[in-house]
Every structure is written in structure tokens, then in C-alpha cells.
Structure 1
Amino acid sequence: MTRHETSLSYAARIERVLSHIADHLDDRLDLDDLAAIACFSPFHFHRIFVAVTGETVAEAVRRLRLHRAAVELNRSRRPMSRIAAQAGYGSVAAFTRAFSTAHGTPPATYRRLGQDLRPAPPKAGMKTMTHSPALRTSVSYDVAIEDFPRLKLATLPHVGDYQKIGTAFERLSNWAGARGMIGADTRTIGIYYDDPSAKALGELRSEAGLTLPDGTAIEADMQWRFVGGGPVAKLIHKGPYADLDVAYAYLYHVWLPQAGRQPGEAPCFEEYLNNPRLLPPSEWLTAVHLPLA
């Protein structure tokens, strides 16, 4: 097997492990079991995992569990003790320390601010599709109108909760990285087709995308897509991906009516401006783009 073939094989095997971790965050994730999934010797598996992903298994599990916890804090009223236990912490105090380090704020504060910033729920008897609620607390983003260049992306489809599209990005990035296609100019973009308030989470359609060199032969379940090529409203969101619905609420409920612009025919897309594996969620930067007519 050549060095290139070995790299491709390693990426595919680690990809299986990452998918298993994402699907079994509530299970005991034993290194020997993960090594078996990757078909590596347990003596060497973890070093290979770190070499391919840039993080340890424990760091990957912690990152994914804390992301899920942030989503739970925003979406539910579940007791903090249950969220802490599901994230793998034996006490609320330990969970609070870990969450505060990652997200820059304690989970109780994060939940309170998140609930305050999000759109108020529709009143009884009012249809969600026709309701355009105001943000509960004043929140503001700087929005710029700019021409976005037409980009060609290799994409991997994802159906389901937008907050779980990370699995598709992990797979796409590992696939491209093993082929030496990711460089300083590579752009990471997600395309989002549906309004989460109008469809069940399991029906939401999205795609994880990367800009890849011309002539790249992609896999059968991947697709070529184009984004941009016209005016967009753009804002930069700093913070966890779990909070991006606040940015969308601002764009649609505040900025769009005030700007007097009409949305275009293309779906919204996001560009991820830094690496979530290297920085805490409080430092993640996402450019949200709303195509305009």
C-alpha cells in the first residue's frame, strides 16, 4: 500500500470512529472498542486518531457533549443536574466549571441569556408560520450588504437537526484532508435549506461543503453546489454554533424589514472562519449570509 493509500485508509477508519462517537455520546466509549471499530491495534489507535484529527478522543467527546449541552440549555427546561450528567459530569459544579471554560459563561447564565435573546413563542392559537415575533431582549449585529463571489463546493448532504451537521463536516474534512486537498485557501461552508420553526428537526435539509481544487473526483454520495454570485446580507456571529438561531432571528425579524430588501431565491449559507477544534466555543466565528434579490 502506498503512502497516499495509507492516508486515505486511515482517514476512512477514523471517520467511522467519529461517527460512532457522535451517535453514542451517552454510552461508555472505551478506547479498545473504538480501536476495533477503526480496525487498528489498541496499542497504536489513539496516536493515529490524534494525528488525523488533531485532538484526543477525550477532547472530541468533551467537545461534542458540551455542544449538545449548549443546545439543550437553549431548547429545553431540563434540570441542570440532568444536563450535567448527560454531558458526563458527576456534579453540577464540575459541569459548570467545564462549560464556563469552553463557552465563556456559566451554564445557568448561558441558559437565561439564551432564552432572553430568542424570539418569543407564538401566542396560543397563533400559527408559527405566520407569526413574526420580536426578539425578547435587544440584540444587534452589524449587517453589511456585499457581493459574494460564486463559489463551487463539494458537499455532503445532512438530513436532521442542524446542530448535528458536524458529523457531515467531520467526514468531508477527513476525506479531503487525506487526499491533501485542504490548504490555507480552503473555505468551509454550510448550506441550510429549511426554517427550523416550520419543519420537524428530523426533516431539516442541509449540506456540509468545502471548496476543493478543480477536477476533484468526489464520492457518489457527494454533490457539487454553487453558492453566492450576487448580493448578500452578511453578519459575523461570535460564539457557539448553538446560538446561531439568534443571528437568523435578527436578520429576518429586525434587519430585513428595516432594510427594505427582499430575500433572494437561494438558501442561506454559513462560512466557518476558524477551527472549532483549536478554539473554545466562545471564540468561534461564523459568517451568516442571506442571499438578496
Structure 2
Amino acid sequence: MQEYECELLFRPDSDALRFLPEGPYPYGANRFSWVAIQHGSDQERGSLNVYDFADGSNKTFELQGRPGFAFPTDRQDTFVVGLERRVVLVDLNTGDETLLCDGVDNHVENTIINDGMAFDGGLIFGSKELTFSKTIAGLYLYRSADRQLITLRTDQICSNGKALVERNGQLTLIDIDSPTKTVVGYPIDVEAGTLGEKQVLLDFTAEEIFPDGMILTPDGTGVIIAFYNPNDADYGVARQHNLETRKTEAIWRTAKAPQCTCPQLLELDGAIKLVLTTAVEHMTTERQQQHSNSGSLFIGDTNFSILPETPTFTVGN
């Protein structure tokens, strides 16, 4: 098993940006985007951020709500964002929003959009129930071909990491609903807008930590999962798990930041690096002082030689 100690990459200078960073994603050469989902426990707004390796700067774009995900699009300076209960296009230059779809979780209350993924057919994303106790949050497919929002499930608690793999012509959605402490797979038919029977791929119920954000390894044989640890620990972890053998193949540690939220692989100076976000969400002031790197972004080495696919979202006409 490979083991890596991550370096502190960026510590936001505001409490708002350290509260709940997630969703790092490549955005051109030497840059990546990430979202600050919520600017504090009593806040209902967040931001989209762009970090630039060239000068170590971070630019913040305030949003009109709490973003669960944000991905670059084929339209210049425009992102697709899951915001509260709607999916919008956001122009970074003007801040203007263009609605793609709404009606997310319109059958229930107290949920907002959470993690998602972009793929060549559109978006797959889920929502979270804000007390983390009720199985009422949704899992959705936004199908670009006909611009339809399709409900896949309505029984999630806190929908998080997602990935798609194809084996022998069958497309499988890999999904995390964090409180279940499992990673599951569903056969998915994008054209029909349906899921098949659920299969548990990885089970972490014996552990005290929760699987959160997730990406595929470049060869598609495994996943890298960021684990959210609500307990006191010297470091947070992300782990690489083989989907066939279920073995742990690599581990990355984030010192003094146990609440690790999301991973992403990026190329920097010809090498493949892993970027990890961490959060201070739910931490008392005393615990934030104890875990003083919480809310920071980290970077670690890998043994990968190529990147996984990280598609931009196609806006179309």
C-alpha cells in the first residue's frame, strides 16, 4: 500500500471559506475551481472559488445560495452550478444566473442540492436532508439531450461522491450516501432514465469515519474517497480502494484536519497530484484550534501517470 503525507496548499483567510470547502475540479492550465458550500452554520449562501497555482491566489465569486457542485462549461467564464434546489449557469464576469432546471426535491422540505458529477450525457447529482436524519433527499439525472430532470431515487440522506464506470457495455453509477457508510453501484440507463438493482461495493460500517467525496482512479479499477471524521484525530484521510478486491491500495493524510471532504486529481508541473478539501463544519472554536489546518486545501503526490476524465459541461445552443 502506498502512503502519502499531504502538504498544506491553501488556508483561506476567512472563517466563511474554511467552513465547508468541497468539489475541487480542473479549470484550465494550473487552476482549479472549488465551492464553499456554506459560509457558516447560520448562512444560506456560499461561493465558487478559483485557485491559481501560478501565484497561489484564490478568487472568490459570491453566489445567490448554497452550491453543492460547480463545473466548468464549454462557454467561456461560465459554470454550471447546483444551487439550493435549482441548477443554473453562472457567468463569472457578471454574476448573472441562467436557469437550467428547478423542481429538485419539490415533494419535500429542508433539503438542498449536494454533490454531483458531469459526464458527456449531462449531470448526475444528489441532495442532502439538512438534519442528516431523514431518507427524503433525491438522486437526479439531468439529461442534456432533451434538457430533462429525471428523478432516480428519493430515499437519500446526504448524497455525496459519484462516478460512472463502463464494463462490458454496461454503465454503472457508483454512489455514496454518506450516513449509510457504504459505496453502492447501480446499473444506469441514461436514455431510459432508470437505475437497476443496487449492489454494495464497499462497506465502511465498522469504522467511525464517513465516506464523502469520491473520484475514479485513472484506469477505472478503483475509487479515491475522502473520509469525513467527526471525531478528534491527528489527521484526515483519503483512501484508494480497488472495486474488485476491495483492498486499500493507497492512503493520503491531511495533518490537523480530520474532516476531509473531497478529492481531485490534477496535473502540476508534469506530475499527477491529489488535491483534498477539508472543513471546519460542526467544530467548536476549541476543536478548530486543536485541528488548526481544518478548512484548508491540501496537495499530495500520487503514482499515477495519467489523469481520469474530468469533462466540462456542454451548454449547447
TM above 0.5: no
More strand by share: 2
Structure whose alpha-carbon radius of gyration is higher:
1
More helix by share: 1
TM-score, L = length of structure 2: 0.27
